Structure 1
Amino acid sequence: MIETAIYVESLDRAVAFYDRLFALPHLFENDALVALDVAGRSVLLLFARGASAQAQTPPGGVIPGHDASGRIHFAFAADDDQLPLWEARLAEEGVPIEGRVTWPRGGTSVYFRDPDGNLLEIATPGIWTTY
């Protein structure tokens, strides 16, 4: 995947959460969208809910309208030795861990939520045959 898009009720609130917890560099931002660089390999797109429902016409073409509602799930990758640091960071920021799984292949997942109720995961290698 190159991009993961989530749709949030308050762009300011979501950006503050992701900035505080992950400190991801901002690639682009306007009133409807903030694009965050995830480890130089992917982009997390934070859209204000409803702001992208109509087609957009940037220079060079058309982006069809899109939007979504409901809580979604996505994961960030972390090395095994980083997981305790992430758990400490979540505790330090007052973000409760809702679940933890040690998978049969040896990976571990830690689950928590963002301010819009989306389920985030920090996962170590060994949860899938591809990771």
Structure 2
Amino acid sequence: MTPGPPPVARILETALYVADLARSEAFYGQVFGFRTMTGDDRMRALSVPGRGVLLLFQRGGSVEPGTTPFGEIPAHDGHGALHLAFAIPAGSLESWLAHLAAMDILIESRLDWPQGATSVYFRDPDEHSLEIVTPGLWPNDQDRPG
């Protein structure tokens, strides 16, 4: 019998490919409060609470391998509208709705799931689909009620 795969602790990085790094960096800073940890002319690394990292890459800026003093980063790129969901604390949905309204961000959709979670969808400047979701959407959510 072969053993299963070694454990994975969590997703560390998630990447989006954007048309304008400064615009996207400002958007994610203003809407979510994410702070820039590092960056250059092709990418920004934003700190997401809970030890996560949102990487913003200049669209087309990483189609060749990237050389660093530590080694080579393989080429990558992406096109089209992608989706990210951000967990928000229980009880913060109304504050989030007010925050988004104050920023003139259009709510595209709201779903009240049968298991008790609520999802709210909107777009970033590159038309990526963003979701904020209260606890309980997925069975493996450690903040899931009950």
- Aligning the two structures, in what range does the TM-score lie when normalised by the shorter sequence? over 0.9
Mark the runs of 5 or more structure 2 residues left unpaired by the alignment: 1-10, 142-146
Q: Deviations over 1:94-114 (max 9, x none)?
A: 001110111111111000000
Q: Which structure carries more relative contact order (alpha carbon 8 Å, separation 6+)?
A: 1
Alignment match, 2:40: 30
Alignment match, 1:108: 118
Alignment match, 1:75: 85
Alignment match, 2:138: 128
Match of 1:118 among 92, 112, 128: 128
Alignment match, 2:73: 63
Q: Secondary structure of 1:90's partner?
A: helix
Separation in structure 2 between the aligned mates of residue 130 and residue 123 of structure 1, nearest angstrom: 14
How high is the sequence identity, in percent, across the aligned residues?
A: 49
Q: Secondary structure of 1:5's partner?
A: strand
Q: 1:76-95 alignment to 2 at 5 Å?
A: 76-95=86-105
Give aligned pairs, total: 131
Give every structure 1 segment of 4 or more consecutive aligned residues whose post-TM-superposition deviation is greater than 4 Å. none
Which letter maps to 1:118? H
Which letter maps to 2:23? R
Q: Secondary structure of 1:80's partner?
A: coil
RMSD of aligned alpha carbons: 0.9
Separation in structure 1 between the aligned mates of residue 67 and residue 99 of structure 2, nearest angstrom: 40
Larger Rg: 2
Alignment match, 1:7: 17
Shift of 1:84: 0.9
Shift of 1:40: 3.9
Q: TM-score, normalised by structure 1?
A: 0.96
Q: 1:35-46 alignment to 2 at 5 Å?
A: 35-46=45-56
Separation in structure 2 between the aligned mates of residue 40 and residue 26 of structure 1, nearest angstrom: 15
Which letter maps to 1:94? D
